[in-house]
Amino acid sequence: MTGRRRRRHGDAGQAFPIYITVVAGLLFLAFAYFAVGQAAVNRNGAQTAADAAALAAAQETRDQLAGQWALEVRDPAKWQDIFDGVGATDSCWRADQLALMNDATVYCVPDGPLAYSVTAQTNKTVGDSVVPGTADRRAHATATAVIEPLCRFELPGGDAEDAEDDVLPTLTCDDGDWVLDPEDLTDLPGPQDLFDVHLATG
């Protein structure tokens, strides 16, 4: 009887270090999963910042082009250049504003007259964790926003030189036609009627 009790105590003593090792391993895995999760959160934050910044810059240019079109509506010869983005100024400053709102910094460049490409970096790091090298690591993401004209038209005579102020082309847009009366231009299509802004895919 006494010998059996001693063997049981001996077995328990051998199992305790194994138990400690298993618990330590589980804790390490838990902290590692937390670090991976935190990195994923930062990555999502960077992508949100990049998307929002690119869209903001593109929407600013869209509004600028729509305003320019409204000013030049009586001169159809200038319409196509406006729909092609000619004369639009760089709107990357709006990307910077949106990045600040998302606690990130961005590098924004116009990608032609009707698109903006943005690379965003989160200001927050992943932080200290059991995974080496995460303390100073920041998440990065990229996005491109595109401005797409939604309307088409034909100039009288098919030539810009033949366009007349008293005859305005009909705008054929994705949401319907706009018949414009040069004597009554109080009801004009808005920016969202003239241009679509969306993130590029692929």
pLDDT digits (tens, 9 = 90+) for 121-135: 888 765 544 445 555
Work out the average pLDDT over 170-182. 91
Query: Does pLDDT of 94 surpass 90?
Result: yes
Q: What does the pLDDT read at residue 38?
A: 54
Q: What does the pLDDT read at residue 183?
A: 87
> Per mean pLDDT, which of 40-54, 56-70, 151-165 is the most reliable?
56-70
Query: Does pLDDT of 98 surpass 80?
Result: yes
Percent of the chain with pLDDT over 70: 68
Name the residue with higher pLDDT: 150 or 187: 150
Q: Are 59 and 93 in contact (CB under 8 A)?
A: no
Query: Does pLDDT of 3 surpass 80?
Result: no
Query: Does pLDDT of 18 surpass 70?
Result: no
Residue 65: HSE in the Cβ half-sphere, 13 Å Cα cutoff: 33
Q: What does the pLDDT read at residue 30?
A: 55
